[in-house]
Amino acid sequence: MKEFAYIHEHGRVPAALKKLPFLGSFDDEQLDDVLDSSNYVQGEPGDVMIDEGAIDSRIYILLSGEVEVRRQGKLLATIGQTGEVFGELAVVSEDRRSASVVAKTRVVCLAVDQKFLQDIKPREEYPAFYAALYEFIARLTAGRLEATSRQLAKVQNELRLLKAKIAAKRSITLPVKGVKPRAAKRKLPARSRR
């Protein structure tokens, strides 16, 4: 993985970056501060962008390529849309990373170091800046929660249908090899006596 400092002329942010949802949350002055605390990160397939269990304070914005989110080696999601954000929980929590993010293809990301950002823009002195940051993260988290809820509802419905099919199959008596099926006992009509 290679990293390069993002160097730009203040007040002149490339239009392509301004269009990214995360960066579009900030006014021009705030955006300059965000970019001052950013690096370009290039990764090759298999490179670990975020290591599960590590302490890391960076938020990543995918500029190109695809990454996989994995927990304990198990694939959770693939991220491949330009502008998608990952690692955003580093802003609100100083916990260890809950999953790894691994480059699936060649990737380029903008990595925003929120610890460095806090050093140059302390929360107490710049509430509007952090309000914009937290608002974006809240919208992102809400969208992911909604998508997860839809997926969970779909899986629950599939499980309900499978249980119904299993119950229906159990109610059918299947022949067992070597055992003759018994004839059902029939009630014969009572004979009349004369």
What is the percentage of the chain residues whose pLDDT exceeds 70? 87
pLDDT (tens digit per residue) in 24-34: 888 888 888 88
pLDDT (tens digit per residue) in 126-152: 888 888 888 888 888 888 889 889 988
The helix or strand, by DSSP H or E, that contains position 107, with its residue range, turns out to be strand 107-113
Nearest to 42 by CA among 15, 70, 64, 69: 64
Candidate ranges 81-90, 97-106, 107-116; pick with highest mean pLDDT: 97-106
The sheet that has 48-50: what strands, in order across it? 48-50, 100-103, 67-71, 74-79
pTM for the full predicted model: 0.72
Higher pLDDT, 100 or 140: 100
Which CATH class, in words, describes the domain spanning 2-132? mainly beta
**Alpha helix stretches (DSSP H) within the chain:** 15-18, 28-36, 89-92, 114-120, 127-170
pLDDT at 69 over 80: yes
Q: What is the gyration radius of the CA atoms in the chain, in angstroms?
A: 29
* pLDDT score, position 67: 98
* pLDDT score, position 79: 95
| C-alpha neighbours within 13 Å on the C-beta side of residue 51 | 7
